[in-house]
Amino acid sequence: MTPNLSPIFAGDLLYLHCNDSQDGSTAIWKFNGNKKNQSNTLKIAAASSKDSGIYNCISNGQTSDDFNLEVFEYVPIASLSITTGQPVMRKNAKVLLELTNDDGLEGWWCRVNRGMKTRRIKLKLNNENPTSFTFETTELKVPETIYWCEKNNTSRSNQVVLRTTDNDVILEMYPFPAIAGEKMTLKCLVWGTKEVTKSVFYKENTNIMSVQGDTYNILTVDEPGVERYKCKATYRYKDQTVDPHVYDSDVQDVPVHVCPVRAVLSDTMGCSCPSCDRQGSYMYYKQNGASWTMLGQNKHPDGDGTYHCRAVMDNMRTLPSNAVRYNHSISGPVIGILFFIVLLGLFIFAVAFYKWNKKRNERVDIYEQVPMRQGDTNYEAINMRQVKEGEYDTLQPGAEGRQKTGGEYEALTKREGKDEVYHTLGENVASGGDGGYEALKTAGIQKDEYETLKTKQPEGGTGAVSGGDGGYEALKTAGIQKDEYETLKTKQPEGGTGAVSGGDGGYEALKTAGIQKDEYETLKTKQAELEKVEEIKEKK
């Protein structure tokens, strides 16, 4: 095999030779046991994984040993490129080549292959371990010259294939070799002038495109393989007054190979390699004009700029990823603002939930707390913690020592506890009538909460006016203590001896704790009735 490459990558140019065909007979080639073609030399213009396998040649009835070929669909760890010149040059021309390797060039050398001969080129490095080195080729005298560089026969660069021509018109291709499914540019160039007015491009001697100028862009290249192209240029030289020249270029083999594995770079600067079949690290590169500068081992983009990345293995790597413009000065604050908004939303939600939960468990005091009177067992205390909005405890009836007169007591409705709750006692003491008092009429207070004052008539009596021994039972109140109502005080007129003697006896208004004057009108009666009430009060 020439050139003798190790390892072999997608796009490499290879020649397999059957050495025993010296008598002029044609060798037969087998690939994985199947006949491939007949020739003494088998050319692989652009290697791909489809070319991996076992090769044999048969010449003069003899079969060669197996030749195992493995092609990796990655790219080499180092890069070799043309800095001055073109892939197709005129004879005896020279070009400048540049070798670069991110890990340095210490221990590297280059090789050049011409036909069956390969020579080694020593690199004269100016310092210990530079990452790039430029050198000039010798004069190009043969139709095809192949350059590449390597280290310890394990790591190597890509190939640079230089061809020569005697014509003034040449066909150039970018990139070389072409990659299937991607863009390819063909140029029809003329030595000594740039004034190309028209170009016609041919594929396998068929006219495929005519353009003004010298450039033809093919948006998508066909399937992998080798195609033969040429071009025809119409041009003038500077200061030329005669008719323009029209000439053809040489026919050039245009190899097209499958795309090597490519890394992927996300908008957030995350590098990945979904198609990689082996582990590796990731390297980032920042664009500086027309070149790219490596950031360093395990360094991540941290500033504004355009970046791409690669996945790097021991002696191979992927193609560069897509380029991404990164604006760190914008993305940083945006991420900070979004983070703050999320935190603020969580805080507002927590506060709202706390208030809602507190309101749901809140106890509403519907009744004011009334302290228990010592010795008064008629009423149970209202338990404020067990009372919720809309609930009312009933007054406990039937206490010990108290006569149940009207059944259970309904609860006081709070909204009805206004000034008009207690109506005045109506006076019904007309002469000769059955003296008495109407029941206390209350708004929302049941009959048996306040019993009526009952007139007690003596036998044969006709009323208070006639001097009967009328009297009144004590006011029986539910939940109103003895000291809440003061005693009725007798108001004696001057010189009077009481009701019996016809004095103008009367009573002062009931004085109550927290009850206004107009809530109860004064009871006016006679002296005998007062004495009876005092007696009943003493008993109470």
CATH number at residue 123: 2.60.40.1930
Q: In this structure, are 194 and 156 located in the same domain?
A: no
- pTM of the full structure: 0.60
Each residue of 82-129: pLDDT tens digit?
A: 999 989 999 999 999 999 999 899 999 999 999 889 999 999 888 778
Percent residues over pLDDT 70 in the chain: 67
- Number of domains, the chain: 4
Provide the pLDDT for residue 226: 83
Q: In this structure, are 37 and 90 located in the same domain?
A: no
**Cα distances (angstroms) measured from residue 63 to each of 15, 19, 51, 491:** 18, 11, 20, 153
Each residue of 309-328: pLDDT tens digit?
A: 999 998 999 999 999 998 87
Identify whether 285 is part of a domain.
yes
Nearest-angstrom CA–CA distance, 96 and 77:
21
Each residue of 459-474: pLDDT tens digit?
A: 444 443 334 444 444 4
Q: One-letter amino acid identity for 146?
A: I
Please report which confidence band the pLDDT of residue 360 belongs to, taking 50, 70 and 90 as the band edges: confident
For residue 421, the SS3 value is helix
pLDDT for 458 beyond 50: no
Q: In this structure, are 161 and 182 located in the same domain?
A: no
Each residue of 479-504: pLDDT tens digit?
A: 444 444 444 443 444 444 443 334 44
> Which of 33, 53, 69 is a domain's end point?
69
Q: In this structure, are 110 and 141 located in the same domain?
A: yes
Burial classification of residue 361, based on how many CB atoms lie within 10 Å of its CB (0-12 exposed, 13-18 middle, 19 or more buried): exposed
Average pLDDT, the chain: 75
Each residue of 124-133: pLDDT tens digit?
A: 888 778 999 9
Q: What is the mean pLDDT of residues 342-349?
A: 91
**Domain interval for residue 250:** 175-258
CATH of the domain at 247: 2.60.40.10
Provide the pLDDT for residue 134: 94
Provide the pLDDT for residue 21: 53
Q: What are phi and psi of 326, to 5 degrees?
A: -115, 120
Provide the pLDDT for residue 96: 96
Each residue of 142-201: pLDDT tens digit?
A: 999 999 999 988 899 999 999 999 999 999 988 877 888 889 999 999 988 989 999 999
